[in-house]
Structure 1
Amino acid sequence: MSKAKGKAKQAKGKLKETAGGAMDDKRMQAEGHAERASGKAEEMVSEAADKARKGSGKS
Protein backbone atom coordinates (compact mmCIF):
# COMPACT_ATOMS: atom_id res chain seq x y z
CA MET A 1 0.00 0.00 0.00
CA SER A 2 1.15 3.48 -0.71
CA LYS A 3 -0.03 6.98 -0.15
CA ALA A 4 -0.05 7.61 -3.92
CA LYS A 5 -2.27 4.58 -4.58
CA GLY A 6 -4.68 5.78 -1.91
CA LYS A 7 -4.86 9.23 -3.48
CA ALA A 8 -5.42 7.68 -6.92
CA LYS A 9 -8.25 5.52 -5.56
CA GLN A 10 -9.84 8.60 -4.00
CA ALA A 11 -9.66 10.48 -7.30
CA LYS A 12 -11.16 7.54 -9.22
CA GLY A 13 -13.94 7.28 -6.65
CA LYS A 14 -14.70 10.99 -6.90
CA LEU A 15 -14.93 10.64 -10.68
CA LYS A 16 -17.37 7.74 -10.35
CA GLU A 17 -19.46 9.66 -7.84
CA THR A 18 -19.63 12.70 -10.10
CA ALA A 19 -20.42 10.64 -13.21
CA GLY A 20 -23.07 8.70 -11.30
CA GLY A 21 -24.68 11.94 -10.18
CA ALA A 22 -24.66 13.34 -13.70
CA MET A 23 -26.25 10.17 -15.07
CA ASP A 24 -28.56 9.73 -12.08
CA ASP A 25 -26.97 6.32 -11.47
CA LYS A 26 -27.21 5.64 -7.73
CA ARG A 27 -25.18 2.44 -7.97
CA MET A 28 -22.25 4.21 -9.62
CA GLN A 29 -22.44 6.95 -7.01
CA ALA A 30 -22.33 4.35 -4.23
CA GLU A 31 -19.39 2.55 -5.86
CA GLY A 32 -17.55 5.85 -6.13
CA HIS A 33 -18.23 6.68 -2.51
CA ALA A 34 -16.96 3.27 -1.41
CA GLU A 35 -13.85 3.62 -3.56
CA ARG A 36 -13.10 7.05 -2.08
CA ALA A 37 -13.46 5.66 1.44
CA SER A 38 -11.19 2.73 0.58
CA GLY A 39 -8.60 5.10 -0.87
CA LYS A 40 -8.72 7.29 2.23
CA ALA A 41 -8.25 4.26 4.47
CA GLU A 42 -5.32 3.06 2.36
CA GLU A 43 -3.71 6.49 2.59
CA MET A 44 -4.16 6.61 6.36
CA VAL A 45 -2.64 3.12 6.81
CA SER A 46 0.34 4.17 4.70
CA GLU A 47 0.81 7.33 6.77
CA ALA A 48 0.61 5.34 10.01
CA ALA A 49 3.17 2.86 8.72
CA ASP A 50 5.49 5.73 7.75
CA LYS A 51 5.17 7.25 11.21
CA ALA A 52 5.80 3.89 12.86
CA ARG A 53 8.94 3.37 10.77
CA LYS A 54 10.21 6.86 11.59
CA GLY A 55 9.40 6.39 15.27
CA SER A 56 11.25 3.10 15.49
CA GLY A 57 14.30 4.47 13.70
CA LYS A 58 13.91 2.16 10.71
CA SER A 59 13.78 3.48 7.13
Structure 2
Amino acid sequence: MFAKKQAVIIYERCKNCEVCEPQEKCPAYAIIKEDDEYYIGPSCQGCGYCRKFCPYNAIELTS
Protein backbone atom coordinates (compact mmCIF):
# COMPACT_ATOMS: atom_id res chain seq x y z
CA MET A 1 0.00 0.00 0.00
CA PHE A 2 1.20 3.51 -0.81
CA ALA A 3 1.68 6.19 1.82
CA LYS A 4 -0.69 9.14 1.53
CA LYS A 5 0.94 12.29 0.22
CA GLN A 6 0.55 15.62 1.99
CA ALA A 7 1.27 19.10 0.66
CA VAL A 8 3.63 21.25 2.71
CA ILE A 9 4.50 24.91 2.35
CA ILE A 10 8.19 25.78 2.17
CA TYR A 11 8.06 29.02 4.15
CA GLU A 12 11.48 30.19 2.95
CA ARG A 13 9.99 30.39 -0.57
CA CYS A 14 6.43 31.50 0.25
CA LYS A 15 5.80 35.20 -0.40
CA ASN A 16 2.37 35.25 1.33
CA CYS A 17 0.77 36.64 -1.81
CA GLU A 18 -2.32 38.76 -1.38
CA VAL A 19 -4.10 36.45 -3.83
CA CYS A 20 -2.77 32.92 -3.49
CA GLU A 21 -3.41 31.01 -6.72
CA PRO A 22 -2.83 27.60 -5.09
CA GLN A 23 -5.43 28.45 -2.45
CA GLU A 24 -7.97 29.41 -5.09
CA LYS A 25 -7.34 26.27 -7.16
CA CYS A 26 -7.17 23.67 -4.37
CA PRO A 27 -10.06 21.23 -4.93
CA ALA A 28 -10.07 20.28 -1.22
CA TYR A 29 -9.95 23.89 0.06
CA ALA A 30 -6.96 22.83 2.15
CA ILE A 31 -4.85 25.98 1.92
CA ILE A 32 -5.83 28.34 4.69
CA LYS A 33 -4.59 31.83 5.52
CA GLU A 34 -4.51 32.70 9.19
CA ASP A 35 -2.63 35.55 10.88
CA ASP A 36 -1.23 36.62 7.48
CA GLU A 37 0.37 33.21 6.87
CA TYR A 38 -0.75 30.28 4.74
CA TYR A 39 -0.80 26.72 5.94
CA ILE A 40 -2.07 23.36 4.70
CA GLY A 41 -5.14 22.16 6.58
CA PRO A 42 -6.27 18.62 7.37
CA SER A 43 -8.52 18.42 4.30
CA CYS A 44 -5.44 18.11 2.03
CA GLN A 45 -5.83 15.06 -0.22
CA GLY A 46 -2.22 15.09 -1.44
CA CYS A 47 -3.20 15.51 -5.08
CA GLY A 48 -0.47 18.08 -5.76
CA TYR A 49 -2.73 20.23 -7.89
CA CYS A 50 -1.77 23.32 -5.85
CA ARG A 51 1.90 22.94 -6.81
CA LYS A 52 1.14 23.80 -10.42
CA PHE A 53 -0.05 27.28 -9.51
CA CYS A 54 2.60 28.55 -7.09
CA PRO A 55 5.00 30.83 -9.01
CA TYR A 56 7.59 30.49 -6.22
CA ASN A 57 7.59 26.67 -6.00
CA ALA A 58 6.72 27.01 -2.31
CA ILE A 59 4.58 23.85 -2.12
CA GLU A 60 5.96 20.32 -2.13
CA LEU A 61 4.47 16.89 -1.49
CA THR A 62 5.73 14.62 1.26
CA SER A 63 4.69 11.16 2.35
Q: Structure 2 length as normaliser, TM-score?
A: 0.23
Answer with 1 or 2: which has the greater Rg.
Answer: 1
Greater RCO, CA 8 A, separation 6+: 2
TM-score normalized by the length of structure 1:
0.23
The structure with the greater share of residues assigned to helix is 1
